[in-house]
Amino acid sequence: MAWIFISVAAAAFQTFRFMLQKHLSMGALSAGGATSARFVYSVPFVVSLALGYVLWRGVGVPQLGPVFWAYALSGGLAQILATWCVVALFAARNFAVGITFKKTEVVQTAILGLLVLGDRVSVPGMAAIVLGLVGVLVLSDTAASGDGGWARRFMNRGAGLGLLSGAFFAVSAVGYRGATLEVASDDAFLRAVVSLAVVTTAQAIGMALWLIWREPGQMGKVFAARRTAVWMGITGMAGSLCWFTAFTLQNAAYVFAVGQVEVIFSLAASVLFFRERLSRREGAGIALISASVLLLVLLL
């Protein structure tokens, strides 16, 4: 059951990283710049960790075949797009609700994992996941769209960004699980850290090239924000390493389902750091999602 504790740790690190990203995207950086900073400042730490672990274990770098690269690069691109959606989502809804919208990734990961990797989810497990989805739908019913009928209630900009980020995160999770399973080693941590080093380096290079092309001057702002962004890189690396390690041990849908404890962490961040207030309906939605996580933990 080590993957459960690793998933909870991943959620905690990820919440802190999103807090920093929200802070940077509220004036210091654009959505693209804040997304780029998350990867650029993670590279030195994750590459050093990977090389250090390989040297400490006294093993060679595992052979990485074409299937690994296909999974890793597709997962990396999907994560970039997902992170971009989340940063944009912060402008549409408050912090805790924004993170909760993202949690549609769990159901989407379960479906994609079955189709691509053959990962199966039990009936009770799926029931717990669906309970969490109900909570997400409750949260998508914004007060601003209350007079526009069901279509507007569930098709507002915040819901759209949340669902899109969840879809991209689902693709990235399945891609990352597929990549780690392609690394020829019995060491789960080695498989995770090597995969993460490859993916993060590719993401940093890709985002830097994109910003130089599409947002001239933004890379300079990313560098100028280094005192805050470096912590985003560290927490991003720690969170991703936990996710990758958990993916080597368990079905990605179950990992993300337990990771929904992130809504509890984000609620605390929303109230304590950003001084935001939640409505009773939003609180009910978060409670449903939290209940689905607890049910899943009890079932597995």
Rounded average pLDDT per 10-residue block, the chain, 300 residues: 87 79 67 82 93 90 92 94 77 60 77 87 82 71 50 61 85 94 91 95 94 90 85 87 91 83 72 69 76 74
The residues, any chain, with a CB within 8 Å of residue 150's CB and separated by 6 or more, are none
| pTM as predicted | 0.80
> Residue 210 has which token pair?
């994109």
Q: How far apart are CA 109 and CA 253, in angstroms?
A: 5
pLDDT of residue 260: 75
The gap from C-alpha 3 to its chain's centroid, in whole angstroms, comes to: 16
Structural domain count, the chain: 1
- CA–CA separation, 263 and 293 (whole Å): 10
Task: Give the pLDDT confidence score for residue 144 in this predicted structure.
Answer: 46
Residue-range definition of the domain harbouring residue 254: 2-299
Instruction: Determine the pLDDT at residue 160.
Output: 73
pLDDT at 80: 87
Residue whose tokens read 């504790």? 5
